[in-house]
Amino acid sequence: MATGVPNVKLRTGAEFQGVALGCAAGFTPEDIANSKGWFLSAIQAGYRTFDTAQIYGTEGSLGAAIKESGIPREEFKIVTKLPWHRCEYIERSFNESLTSLGVDYIDLYLLHFPQAISYPTGYDVPTDPQVILTGMKILEKPSFNDNWAILEKLYESGKAKAIGVSNFSVKTLEALAKTAKVTPHANQVEMQPYCTQNDLVEYCKQKGILVMAYSPSGHEKVRKDPTIVRLAEKYNVTANQLIMAWHVARGVMPVPKSADPVRQKQNITLPTLSPEDVAEITGLDKNERIVNKPDENGILYGWSLEQYGWEPARV
């Protein structure tokens, strides 16, 4: 039987819809302009939690869609993120997000990556893709501990109702805990049946940190897995619906991106899986990242697997 999506609760007491719409639209002006249309269709489908980021360029489209919907802002939960190249300008970047969204507070504000970088262009992202690839410089300072202290001030001010991190592991969360006054309210990571991160899920549960999963279906590679196909047929749902239901059963908030109204509705109309089927899907784990995948030298965006605190994939 298909059911509605249960809410999840942060340690602050705030309740978020248990599935969020991912708001990465592509990076062309046309992609970004068109996003407002599918944000509106998602609102009509019943979404009330939206996950964007300043680097996506869709904060303005999301804010416009929420305003155009006529639904009070208080009914929405907005998640956005600090770009990794603006760690030296956190308050400026945060205030720009407020302006772009057209709101006076953000429900959940995340550090997008543990590492801080700089570009030759400084505050702005380079327009030349080659400069983005070759001009990235990893900074020793500010550290994520330094950045977190500033997010704590935003939280204390009330402008950020909750704060969290993204792409953090148990290792980096433990390092953050050495200086943090506030334990992160959420940690958004790549997670899907080939990369279940069981230890991280358990650690976050113990600490009261909500786990959010980006690229939660694992794309076609995972959706076509024979076990996924078989179980989707058993529940008479799509592979995507099955995987979203698996996340929800684990207490994880999936963040699927879809611009299609039919799939948007499907992603919040989920079956209730048996514990045995949840365990079988979890058993597909290979620790294989599909989106943010390290190169042949084990390096991703200037950091090694060891720095991230990630284990290599199992072949």
Long-range contacts of 65-69 (CB under 8 A, 24+ apart): 65/36, 65/39, 65/40, 66/39, 66/102, 67/102, 68/36, 68/40, 69/40, 69/43, 69/44
Cα separation of 193 and 285, whole Å?
6
Structure tokens at 266: 């499907």
17 in Cβ contact with 5 (< 8 Å): yes
Helices 198-207 and 170-177, packing angle to 10 deg: 30
The distance from CA 142 to its chain's CA centroid, rounded to whole angstroms, is 22
Residues tagged active-site: 56
Nearest to 200 by CA among 223, 172, 181: 172
